[in-house]
């Protein structure tokens, strides 16, 4: 019974998607809720939980996004590492790990509420911390962990609420994954992050037909 429902749902969704591509739907909305040409930016604080080290990371999080049409936006994010904390280990796993992501988001337009989900490839620039970096004879300290760049992949989802003409509220979560290898070891970058706060948006390009929302 459950499977029948899944198959039927899949069929309906698929057909709807196909139809949507052939005949763009037109919804009448106030001008201010047409997202085409909107540039959005924010700076906020973000917390993350590294699932491998069971450590909490704290970041300054900022992004810049541009709405290509009512569904698709391009967006670049920067996470500036502030600090981290662990309960079990005497030292935190990273001295620092700054992140940069660029990617795309799909927006599910719903009046002032704007649900979105996206995927973003990215890079990590960081440095590990170890409890001991000392030669066996104790005479000469070995070289410190190198500052390293590593690749990562993340997907995010969240909601924006366009509260006024220039400001919006947002709440989002992100899962980031990858491996960080320096000159000593490899470490997992699996981390769940959360951000919320106030954003600023500005229409930098006005579409010809502000009342048309077509896929």
> What is the rounded CA–CA span in Å between residue 46 and residue 41?
15
Whole-number Cα distances in Å, 179 to 8, 87, 93, 122, 148: 39, 22, 13, 12, 11
Tokens of 165: 């003409």
* Number of chain residues interacting with another protein (CB under 8 A): 49
Cβ pair 199, 169 in contact under 8 A: yes
Pick 38 or 150: Cβ nearer another protein: 150
- Kindly state the smallest distance separating residue 163's Cβ from another protein, in Å: 27
> What is the rounded CA–CA span in Å between residue 56 and residue 44?
17
Regarding 120 and contact with another protein (CB under 8 A), the answer is yes
Stretch that binds another protein, among 37-45, 49-57, 113-121, 195-203 (CB under 8 A): 113-121
Interacting residue with another protein among 24, 110, 192, 211 (CB under 8 A): 24
Cβ pair 170, 197 in contact under 8 A: yes
Pick 7 or 166: Cβ nearer another protein: 7
Query: What is the rounded radius of gyration, in angstroms, for the C-alpha atoms of the chain?
Result: 22
Residue 189 CB-half CA count within 13 A = 26
Build a one-symbol-per-residue string for 47-76: x at contacts with another protein by CB under 8 A, - elsewhere: ---------------------xx-xx-x--
- Kindly state the smallest distance separating residue 16's Cβ from another protein, in Å: 10
- Kindly state the smallest distance separating residue 167's Cβ from another protein, in Å: 26
Pairing mode of beta strands 94-110, 55-67: unpaired
Regarding 205 and contact with another protein (CB under 8 A), the answer is no
Strand partners, 44: 61
Regarding 11 and contact with another protein (CB under 8 A), the answer is yes
Stretch that binds another protein, among 9-17, 27-35, 56-64, 90-98 (CB under 8 A): 9-17
Stretch that binds another protein, among 57-65, 133-141, 191-199, 201-209 (CB under 8 A): 133-141
Pairing mode of beta strands 72-86, 55-67: antiparallel
CA angle 74, 158, 164 (to 5 degrees): 80
Q: Where along the sequence are the contacts to another protein (CB under 8 A)?
A: 3-4, 7-8, 10-11, 14-15, 17-18, 21-22, 24, 68-69, 71-72, 74, 102-104, 106, 119-123, 130-136, 142-143, 149-153, 178-179, 181, 183-186, 215
């Amino acid at each position: 019974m459950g499977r029948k429902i899944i198959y039927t749902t899949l069929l309906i969704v698929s057909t709807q998607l196909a139809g949507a591509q052939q005949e763009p739907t037109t919804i009448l909305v106030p001008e201010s809720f047409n997202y085409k040409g909107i540039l959005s930016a924010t700076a906020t604080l973000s917390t993350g939980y590294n699932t491998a080290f069971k450590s909490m990371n704290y970041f300054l999080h900022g992004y810049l996004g541009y709405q290509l049409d009512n569904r698709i936006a391009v967006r670049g994010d920067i996470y500036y590492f502030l600090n981290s904390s662990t309960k079990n280990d005497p030292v935190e796993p990273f001295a620092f790990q700054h992140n940069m992501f660029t990617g795309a988001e799909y927006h599910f337009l719903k009046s002032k509420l704007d649900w979105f989900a996206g995927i973003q490839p990215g890079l990590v620039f960081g440095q590990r911390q170890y409890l001991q970096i000392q030669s066996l004879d104790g005479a000469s300290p070995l070289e410190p962990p190198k500052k390293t760049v590593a690749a990562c992949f993340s997907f995010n989802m969240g909601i924006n609420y366009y509260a006024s003409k220039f400001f919006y509220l947002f709440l989002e979560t992100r899962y980031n994954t990858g491996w960080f290898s320096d000159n000593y070891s490899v470490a997992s970058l699996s981390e769940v992050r959360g951000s919320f706060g106030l954003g600023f948006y500005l229409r930098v390009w006005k579409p010809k037909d502000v009342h048309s929302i077509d896929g």
